[in-house]
Amino acid sequence: MAVKRKTKQTKKEKPKIARTSRKITKQHKDKITLREDKSLPYVKGDFCFYLAKDNKPRFAEVQTVHEYEGGHYYIVIDQHDFRFATVEHKWCADDEKEFKGVKRK
């Protein structure tokens, strides 16, 4: 009669992904396009700060600009996560200090 042997189960190791910092650095701030008139919309290729849904300022590049009856909105690429996001003009700024005390609902 054959004897069944129990084999030890090996644990699979997950690959470790290097973590990146989400802090906005001086290099990011140097890329910002400063506009004289804040009501003018951004153009494709501009860099700006935007207020994300979690009420934290993020840094992004404007991919496309769209217009609707309430103003402008942008499709941006977040420069830390490299994700696309859609942001209204009122949640974009040239400086992250402009978001101090401002919260999205």
52-71 burial code (b ≥16 CB/10 A, e <16): eeeeebbbbbbeeeeeeeee
Q: DSSP code of 72? A: E
Could you tell me if 83 and 76 are in contact, meaning their C-beta atoms sit under 8 angstroms apart? no
State residue 37's pLDDT score. 87
Delineate the domains of the chain, giving CATH numbers in brackets.
26-99 (2.30.30.140)
Mean pLDDT, contiguous 10-residue spans, the chain (105 residues): 74 76 75 83 92 92 94 93 93 90 86
State residue 20's pLDDT score. 65
State residue 13's pLDDT score. 82
State residue 32's pLDDT score. 80
